[in-house]
Amino acid sequence: MTDPIITHAFGTDPEGPKRIPLRLRPKPVLTVEDVANKKKGHYLFSFGYPGSGKTTLQWMMMNYLISKTKFDIDIAIPDNKEGPDWEGPAIINDWNKQWIEGRFPERTPAAESDIREIEITAQTTSGKKLDANFSFLEVSGELLQQVVPAKGVMPDLKPLLRAYLENQRLKFVVIFMLSPDREENDILFANFISYVKKSFPGLLDRMSIGVVLSKPEESLCRLREFGDATGRTGFTKLNTEAQIAYLKKFCPRTYNIWSGWPEKKPLLSPLYLGEIEIIEGEPRLMEFDFHHIEQIFFWLFEQFAGKRPGPTFWQRFTGWTKEWQ
């Protein structure tokens, strides 16, 4: 197959159009039009300040899906306006290489044109036969914090992000990434909900929410240091009681949003990744732990597919559930 001729990449050429090698062509970029034309889709939208662990959640989830064999995954190569978009598989390959070395993924670049979408189909390989199709976005927290109004500054989101939220055929699972190093988390999350209510009527009905406590070791230290709303400090682990105490103390408006959500079970979970060591000033994941990410993924899967992965009736009946514990 010959390369198509591209004329616009390096300006006009008086001698006629040139062939441009694949590696020098402009990257296909997701456009507002692409997003507005989407006919359907389930989106995981991780939401939080820069550095709150949004990419880390998605990186951990993808490496869990790749490393464990409970799911067979397919990464989509969508046909966008500019041609086939290979960015999804390229990002996952990078994350997989970083995973092998225990390195965390890089911070997401902050321009609107840096927003990326990755679409996955995950099929169970054992237990109940289920599959889920969903996408997630790689967006910098710099762009998300624009939903907070200030004196003389209206809340806003970039047109590409608005295009997702405006498309009534799409459904969302929003995960609030609650990192212990930002006091203003509550302001960000509560203002996001106000912004959605005001700007996208009906969207909350197409949305599920979850709260993930990233960096759980530091979160527990913070709860022990400052105490819960009643002054209690003697928490020894970040169990459900401690997570709720943490939310009530440090994110009271988010707690009310979470506890009043008109859905049976909005997620609340810490995300412990495993053993982290600082090597030459850089954090490295030396030993990984998939327990939390697996529970988070099962919950996500249930939001997307309507059913939770697990053993079949017969496997439960005969006690053959080891793989799912």
Point out which residues bind ligand GTP (CB under 6 A). 48, 50-56, 104-105, 107-108, 140-141, 214-215, 271, 273, 276, 283
Six token digits for residue 202: 């009906």
Residues 179 and 185: beta-carbon distance below 8 Å: yes
Would you say 46 or 124 has its CB closer to Mg ion?
46
Would you say 15 or 280 has its CB closer to ligand GTP?
280
DSSP reduced 3-state for 27 = coil
Q: How many residues bind Mg ion (CB under 5 A)?
A: 3
The binding track of 259-298 with respect to Mg ion, each residue x by CB under 5 A or -, is: ----------------------------------------
Residues 295 and 289: beta-carbon distance below 8 Å: no
Would you say 104 or 136 has its CB closer to ligand GTP?
104
What's the CA gap between 172 and 162, in Å, rounded? Answer: 13
| Minimum distance of Mg ion from residue 1's CB (angstroms) | 36
Would you say 57 or 173 has its CB closer to Mg ion?
57
| Minimum distance of Mg ion from residue 163's CB (angstroms) | 20
Residues in CB range of 235: below 8 A, 6 or more apart: 220, 223, 224, 228, 242, 245
Would you say 136 or 309 has its CB closer to ligand GTP?
136
CA distances from 125 to 131, 278, 311 (A): 10, 36, 11
Residue 50 interacts, among Mg ion, ligand GTP, none and using kind-specific CB cut-offs from 5 to 8 Å, with ligand GTP
| Minimum distance of ligand GTP from residue 74's CB (angstroms) | 24
Would you say 75 or 276 has its CB closer to ligand GTP?
276
Residues 189 and 144: beta-carbon distance below 8 Å: no
Please provide the DSSP assignment of 202-221 as one string.
TGGGGEEEEEEEESHHHHHH
* 55 belongs to the binding site for Mg ion (CB under 5 A): yes
What's the CA gap between 88 and 77, in Å, rounded? Answer: 7
What's the CA gap between 265 and 269, in Å, rounded? Answer: 12
Six token digits for residue 230: 């009643």
What's the CA gap between 65 and 79, in Å, rounded? Answer: 24
The binding track of 80-119 with respect to Mg ion, each residue x by CB under 5 A or -, is: ----------------------------x-----------
| Minimum distance of ligand GTP from residue 159's CB (angstroms) | 19
Residue 48 interacts, among Mg ion, ligand GTP, none and using kind-specific CB cut-offs from 5 to 8 Å, with ligand GTP
Task: Give me the residues that bind Mg ion (CB under 5 A), please.
Answer: 54-55, 108
